[in-house]
Chains A and B, each alone.
Chain A
Amino acid sequence: MTEERAIDVAGLVRDFKGGVRAVDGIDLHVGAGEIYGFLGPNGAGKSTTVKVLTTLLPPTAGRATVAGYDVAKDGAKVRAAIGVALQDVALDPMLTGREHMRLQGGLQGIPRAERGRRGDELLERVGLSDAADRKSSTYSGGMKRRLDLALALLHSPRILFLDEPTTGLDVQSRTALWDEVARLAREEGTTVFLTTQYLEEADVLANRVGIIDRGRIVAEGTPAALKAQVARPTVELVPHDIGECAAVGAALAPFGARVPPRTAGSIAVRLDSGADQLADIVRALDNANISVANLALHEPTLDDVFLAKTGRSLEGAADVPEEAAPDRERVLA
């Protein structure tokens, strides 16, 4: 059986005790072989969605099929088709890497003869061959993640769920994991559903991104399309004389709102009507007799998209109280 859609979700709702609605009616579709990035701040509902899709939590309402099977009714069939690496690395500190592979392989029903070979092969691929006989309690954070990933891949799943796979990893480990995920999709046609709170991760890896905030998907599309949708670049400049910062701010005020600059000491403004305003900006600065040391035009990022859709920056968005968020319609307009 082949299905065009590896994951199909319609009107999915998940409530928790005390009336907390973690997932508030989401619709999404992921095609076979696609890498789908599910982007949002802490507490947005990413992990809950993953738990529902991986059959660890029943949905409160709505419908979700994974690999063509209903997650609420055909749990066992869904589980056979998917591999899962949850947010918290789930390892037994007392077992070695190789023992983990044997245990998981045995429980997955992989024949004994094949179990060892397949386990060793995966350990090799994630770069843990040398550490295979050490207890997992001695592993670094990156090594634990890699073992977790290898365990998720053991039964050759067609669909892989990765819940914040690189949270807490150093840059090197992160890049290595990205490479492996990209390779899986490219060479083995594995569908990947990946949650992340890192814009860069979604930008680099995902074919398509869904942005979730407070249990709802607020935007969806390819990273490029999402950025084009916002279509408001940022101009960032440094005056020759630091004392002129205030004057620069005043000169730029008509063109858009001040935003936090990427480099300290510079002034950044998101342009209200796009890059066409650049000439006007230069004229305005000239009229005000301000000499500029550096001027750069930044294309919109996924963070800009998040900001535009939710009125908040992704960084620290989870900490913003409910009332502080501006009306979404207004921001979108």
Chain B
Amino acid sequence: MTALAHSALPTQVGLLAGRAVRRIVRQPAQLVFPILFPLILLAVNTSGLDAATRLPGFPTASYLDFALAIPFMQGALFAALNGGQDLARDIQGGFLDRLAMTPMSGAALLAGQLGGALFMGVVSAVLYLVVGVAFGAGIASGVGGALVLVALAIAISFAFACFGTFVALRAGTGEAVQGFFPLFFVLLFLSSAFFPRDLIEQDWFRVVATYNPVSYMVEGIRSLVITGWDWQALVQAFGLSALAIAAFLALSARALRTRLVRT
């Protein structure tokens, strides 16, 4: 028997991440839509809702500064959905079985899959920031804060990607992943993304937004743009992202073990 050297984990991760990135780049709809749509929404909101800044207690005089956090969240949602659907396609089409026939490790598959999400996270975060600044958004925390903002956006994007990966592995169909799309958007709308929490008049809405983890992710990004260095907001945003990454990564690993039923 020919002794086949098992390829090292980094090689496997590199190959699978390379494939994930290629797959994204070769489906323009996956690259352009998630990046363009949030920017268009930002432009529409900024021109239409600028009057909101005159409300007493509104944290900034520029709605663009306030709303800049939203595209980062929307981009993360799109990336999670697309990544999850790609993975579901692998499962449905049998490509995962083909991979399972190789000595590939499950960890490499997850890392490779999430490598694609990381790529999307970096590209879109940098782009949103550049566009925002180009249109006059001021980053109160300065250049260092901008770097932290990109890092936070990537962490959030990664957390959502872990969730999308988990759903894909658990359900195994693109339809199931698609089914979470409305839920994601409800989560975003019922957060402080579009309105500061302390200005929300409806009690139930304020309560939901307070318990909605998405609020704290948004507020983490927002704090860097309009407040400066708000350590509490940053710890909350990074902490929640890390928590979500850890939880959904663990769940994904378990779902993958069930999915890769190879003996």
- Listed in ascending order, the chain A residues whose CB lies under 8 Å from chain B are 1, 54-58, 67, 71-73, 75-76, 79-82, 84, 86, 88-92, 94-95, 99, 102-104, 106-111, 135, 151, 155-156, 158
Contacts and interface: CB of A to CB of B under 8 A. Distances in A.
B100 interface: yes
B28 to A, nearest CB: 11
A106 B15 contact: yes
B102 A107 contact: yes
Contacts of B7: 106-110
14 contacts: A86-B94, A89-B94, A90-B97, A91-B93, A94-B22, A94-B23, A94-B27, A95-B22, A103-B15, A108-B103, A109-B5, A109-B103, A111-B5, A156-B2
Contacts of A94: 22-23, 26-27
B102 A86 contact: no
Given A73-B263, A107-B12, A107-B103, A91 B5 contact: no
A79 B97 contact: no
Contacts of B16: 103
A1 B1 CA distance: 7
Given A84-B101, A92-B90, A102-B15, 20 more contacts: A58-B261, A71-B263, A72-B263, A79-B103, A90-B93, A90-B94, A94-B23, A103-B15, A103-B16, A103-B19, A104-B98, A107-B7, A107-B15, A107-B99, A108-B4, A109-B7, A110-B4, A135-B26, A151-B98, A156-B2
A73 B263 CA distance: 7
A99 B103 CA distance: 18
> Counting chain A CB atoms within 10 Å of each CB, which of B1, B7, B12, B263 scores highest?
B263
Given A79-B101, A155-B4, A55 B95 contact: no
A56 B100 CA distance: 8
B31 interface: no
Given A79-B103, A95-B22, A109-B5, A56 B262 contact: yes
Interface in B84-99: 90, 93-95, 97-99
Contacts of A76: 103
Interface of B: 1-2, 4-7, 11-12, 15-16, 19, 22-23, 26-27, 90, 93-95, 97-104, 261-263
Contacts of A55: 262-263
A108 B102 contact: yes
Given A88-B93, A109-B6, A158 B1 contact: yes
Given A90-B94, A103-B19, A57 B12 contact: no
Q: Which 10 A-B pairs have the closest CB atoms?
A: A90-B94, A75-B263, A107-B102, A109-B7, A90-B98, A106-B15, A94-B23, A109-B5, A88-B94, A55-B263
> Counting chain A CB atoms within 10 Å of each CB, which of B93, B261, B262 scores highest?
B262
A89 B90 CA distance: 12
Given A86-B97, A90-B94, A92-B95, A81 B1 contact: yes
Nearest to B25: A94
Contacts, number: 90
Contacts of B6: 109
Contacts of B94: 86, 88-90
B208 to A, nearest CB: 38
B101 A54 contact: yes
Nearest to A155: B4
A321 B5 CA distance: 50
A84 B97 CA distance: 10
A107 B106 CA distance: 12
> Counting chain B CB atoms within 10 Å of each CB, which of A1, A88, A106 scores highest?
A106
Contacts of B98: 84, 86, 90, 104, 151
Given A84-B101, A104-B102, A151-B98, A109 B4 contact: yes
A28 B161 CA distance: 46
B158 to A, nearest CB: 22
Contacts of B22: 94-95, 99
A286 B86 CA distance: 71
B261 A107 contact: no
Nearest to A74: B263
A57 B94 CA distance: 14
